[in-house]
């Protein structure tokens, strides 16, 4: 018998299908050894030696694997091919005593297919100690930071807080952006649009004022932000009086075509997915969080339908590209397929070129082909991955583009411009329709990816222009002065936070999702109704303390350089102990100094009131469930009070009665927020949710109110509080207005716009 050990039961089940009766495939259920949860367990004086243990939940599993290993003629460790997977194999070898008593083989593959498994079995290798060291270095360094810096936060702010090498930088990005938004002062300006038509024709098109008396009307402002430049476009027309004068003058002007530029332009597909771009696309197109995206991708991988999902490589195997080529020709036609496979070059430093991008394991299997094998979330994500990879091997889309320059003259001379384009050949848009290229780093209003809804390949046009000749006179239809104002840098959403972290080298593919999940779970940040991340008060306080006293921990370049150190350990260029030592010595020295210098009082807000019990100062403190008022003489005086915000909530729910015993309900706090609890507790344990009302009646039942709610996965939605009698619900926040076309509620959309909540209606109102 030959024993094959992998990490997950799903992966074991899939691999077992490909192997014969000579093999038995078992799962380790993840790590079988780790650092203990309640002790640091790192011998700092002895070269930072870690003291691993077998967790209680893994002990029975290890015993079972030991018995199977003793009976097996060959043991094969087949965990994932990345650093984490290599470390799991090493821990398995150590925990099962394989290094001392029995020989074993290590195999790796990036897709779970019969061919890949067979190839791996015929090409075993030793455990890569460099990859193990890189994983171990990250684990030890993060343990040192967490176990030494977190207690500092407990002493200076409150218990239960945590700090981490990567999470603290992610938090700082969000806090700095919030401060940049608060500092921003918008400027009003006007954009001039002129509607024109050709003589005798009904075709009306829009043109925009770009020059006046030879000078450019538009200018670009550049703001220097914490994480890069933010560019703002505005015009020099900064008052209603200037705008009105220009409109009046243009209404008397004559218009003539000055120049026509026609050219054929190509739009190329995006490369296949990496971990970062998959998360960005899934967040924007499917509404998945980064954590949920990786969880679903893991399941699809373990079922054998996609390649490994933690990668920063853009490589595709030649075999997969040839398979995609055949699939494209079969489904869409030969004119959509490239004559030769298209290779993409990975730009990021330290990318694993031997690995592949995230792609379907079998490109010929369409999402419909796997409908019976995948649950709804898995099929949606597989569809995204399949379309992206197939599109990457398709012909570019071809557009006929026209740029029109128009002279206008009255008291002043003006230059107008109109742009238009039509799709001549849809190419890759047939499978992956795209409204826009991947947005700039600061654009948080979109997903970080383009929409792929639809897919019927219909051609479209953008501001289709009528045929004209140079020198042709045009007729004025209307002149509009559109009031606008510059917008503050937008908050990050999960997609753009992942993008900015990747661009700055903060973390690696395996850390993006858990980092965001951590700062959300710690209640350092939260999401608003537009799914944008904003810092909570405790998050701002923690960040400000770290910035003031531990600047290297929250420094982008410093954190990125450590990631480079880990990469070099993985490549065998550096040893892990000196890397840890170079970080730890100055960090620990500074921590010792700051523990003595920084006072808890520095982070407590004093109130202008005395304690009614002892006369001491009343201060605002942070507890497990939020802020509260307490006496500064604690523990000698244990007086506490509710904040004004809590008292307001109490007042709003005054008079509510427990449905179980009839006693008055009281506003209480728990780890999930405020709720109403029976005043007879613990005799009566009646509780009730505090619903945040929108002020709108349910349009379906006309009885209940629309309130904020959260799904089982924590996603915010808006539903009728008469549920289950009425199941009306919306994913987006209703604006309070009704659609002028169908009467359904309008809901918030991207960039402050509103759209109809009905799926059958496409009404959109701009901000």
Q: Is 530 helix (H, G, I), strand (E, B) or coil?
A: coil
Could you say which DSSP state residue 370 is in? G
SS3 annotation, 381-424: HHHHHHHHHHHHCECCEEEEEEEEEEEEECCCEEEEEEEEEEEE
Q: What is the CA radius of gyration of the chain?
A: 31
Contact 9, 29 (CB under 8 A): yes
Can 308 be counted among the known catalytic residues? yes
Which of 141, 46, 126 minimizes the C-alpha distance to 576?
141
Rounded Cα distance, 248 and 242, in Å = 10
As beta bridge partners, residue 675 has 668, 689
* Catalytic residue, candidates 52, 230, 305, 308: 308
Rounded Cα distance, 90 and 79, in Å = 10
Contacts of 275 (CB under 8 A, 6+ apart): 294, 309, 310, 311, 312, 358, 509, 510, 512
Contact 570, 130 (CB under 8 A): yes
Q: Taking each helix axis as running N to C, give the angle between helix 275-286 and helix 512-521, from 0 to 180 degrees, rounded to the nearest 10.
A: 50
Rounded Cα distance, 391 and 272, in Å = 8
Alpha-helical runs (H) found in 9-55? 9-18
Query: Token pair for residue 7?
Result: 């990490």
Contact 510, 82 (CB under 8 A): yes
Rounded Cα distance, 562 and 547, in Å = 18
Rounded Cα distance, 309 and 85, in Å = 13
Rounded Cα distance, 498 and 492, in Å = 9
Query: Token pair for residue 611?
Result: 């304690």
Query: Token pair for residue 125?
Result: 């290798």
Query: Token pair for residue 120?
Result: 């791996």
Alpha carbon of residue 757 to chain centroid? 24
Largest interatomic CA distance in the chain:
97
Contact 454, 285 (CB under 8 A): no
Could you say which DSSP state residue 307 is in? B
What single string gives the DSSP state of each residue in 560-629? HHHHHHHHHHHTTSS-HHHHHHHHHHHHHHHHHHHHHH--GGGG-EEEEEE-TTT--EEEEEEETTEEEE
Rounded Cα distance, 195 and 217, in Å = 18
Rounded Cα distance, 124 and 754, in Å = 57
Phi-psi label, residue 363: left if phi above 0, alpha if psi -120 to 50, beta otherwise: alpha
Angle at 665 between CA 661 and CA 669, to 5 degrees: 130
Phi-psi label, residue 416: left if phi above 0, alpha if psi -120 to 50, beta otherwise: beta
Rounded Cα distance, 229 and 227, in Å = 7
Catalytic residue positions, numbered? 308
């Amino acid at each position: 018998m030959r024993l094959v050990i992998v990490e997950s039961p799903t992966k074991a089940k899939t691999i077992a299908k490909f192997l014969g009766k000579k093999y038995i495939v078992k799962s380790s259920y993840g790590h079988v050894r780790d650092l203990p949860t309640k002790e640091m367990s790192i011998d700092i004086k002895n070269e930072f030696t870690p003291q691993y243990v077998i967790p209680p939940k893994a002990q029975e599993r290890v015993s079972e694997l030991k018995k199977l290993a003793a009976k097996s003629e060959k043991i094969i460790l087949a965990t994932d091919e990345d650093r984490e997977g290599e470390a799991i194999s090493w821990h398995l070898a150590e925990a099962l005593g394989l290094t001392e008593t029995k020989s074993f083989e290590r195999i790796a593959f990036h897709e779970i297919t019969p061919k890949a498994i067979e190839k791996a079995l015929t090409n075993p290798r030793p455990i890569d100690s460099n990859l193990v060291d890189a994983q171990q270095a990250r684990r030890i360094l993060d343990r040192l930071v967490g176990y030494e810096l977190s207690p500092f936060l407990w002493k200076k702010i409150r218990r239960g807080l945590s700090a981490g090498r990567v999470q603290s930088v992610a938090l700082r990005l969000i806090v700095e952006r919030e401060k940049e938004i608060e500092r921003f002062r918008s400027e009003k300006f006007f954009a001039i649009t002129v509607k024109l038509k050709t003589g005798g024709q009904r075709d009306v098109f829009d043109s925009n004022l770009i020059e006046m008396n030879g000078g450019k009307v538009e200018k670009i402002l550049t703001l220097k932000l914490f994480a890069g430049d933010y560019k703002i476009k505005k015009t020099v027309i900064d008052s209603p009086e200037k705008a009105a004068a220009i409109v009046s003058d243009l209404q008397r002007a004559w218009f003539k075509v000055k120049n026509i530029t026609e050219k054929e332009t190509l739009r190329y597909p995006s490369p296949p997915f990496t971990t970062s771009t998959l998360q960005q696309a899934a967040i924007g197109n499917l509404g998945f969080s980064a954590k949920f995206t990786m969880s679903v991708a893991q399941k699809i991988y373990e079922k054998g339908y996609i390649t490994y999902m933690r990668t920063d490589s853009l490589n595709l195997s030649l075999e997969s590209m040839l398979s995609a080529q055949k699939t494209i020709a079969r489904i869409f036609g030969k004119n959509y397929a490239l004559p030769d496979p298209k290779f993409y070059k990975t730009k990021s430093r330290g990318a694993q070129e031997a690995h592949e991008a995230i792609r379907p394991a079998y490109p010929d299997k369409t999402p419909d082909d796997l409908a019976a094998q995948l649950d709804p979330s898995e099929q949606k994500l597989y569809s995204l991955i399949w379309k992206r990879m197939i599109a990457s091997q398709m012909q570019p889309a071809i557009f006929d583009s026209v740029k029109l320059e128009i002279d206008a003259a009255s008291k002043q001379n003006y230059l107008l411009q109109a742009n238009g384009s039509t799709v001549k050949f849809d190419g890759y848009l047939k499978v992956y329709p795209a409204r826009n290229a991947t947005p700039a780093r600061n654009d948080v209003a979109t997903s970080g990816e383009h929409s792929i809804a639809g897919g019927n390949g219909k051609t479209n046009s953008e501001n289709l222009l009528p045929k004209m000749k140079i020198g042709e006179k045009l007729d004025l239809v209307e002149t509009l002065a559109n009031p606008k104002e510059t917008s503050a840098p937008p908050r990050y959403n999960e997609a753009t936070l992942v993008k900015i972290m990747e661009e700055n080298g903060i973390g690696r593919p395996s850390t993006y999702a858990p980092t965001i999940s951590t700062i959300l779970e710690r209640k350092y940040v939260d999401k608003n109704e537009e799914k944008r991340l904003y810092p909570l008060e405790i998050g701002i306080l923690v960040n400000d303390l770290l910035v003031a006293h531990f600047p290297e921990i929250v420094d982008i370049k410093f954190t990125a350089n450590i990631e480079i150190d880990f990469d070099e350990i993985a490549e065998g260029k550096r040893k892990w102990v000196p890397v840890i030592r170079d970080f730890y010595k100055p960090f620990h020295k500074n921590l010792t100094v700051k523990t003595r210098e920084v006072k808890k009082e520095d982070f407590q807000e004093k109130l202008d009131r005395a304690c009614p019990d002892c006369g001491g100062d009343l201060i605002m403190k942070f507890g497990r469930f939020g802020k509260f008022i307490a006496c500064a003489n604690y523990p000698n005086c244990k007086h506490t009070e509710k904040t004004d915000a809590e008292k307001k909530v109490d007042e709003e729910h005054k008079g509510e009665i427990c449905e179980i015993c009839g006693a008055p309900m009281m506003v209480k706090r728990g780890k999930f927020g405020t709720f109403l609890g029976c005043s007879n507790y613990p005799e009566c344990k009646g509780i009730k949710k505090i619903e945040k009302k929108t002020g709108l009646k349910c349009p379906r039942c006309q009885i209940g109110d629309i309130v904020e709610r959260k799904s089982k996965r924590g996603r915010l939605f808006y539903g009728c509080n008469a549920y289950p009698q009425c199941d009306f619900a919306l994913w987006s926040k209703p604006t309070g207005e009704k659609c002028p076309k169908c009467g359904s509620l309008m809901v918030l959309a991207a960039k402050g716009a509103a759209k109809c909540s009905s799926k059958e209606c496409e009404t959109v109102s701009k901000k």
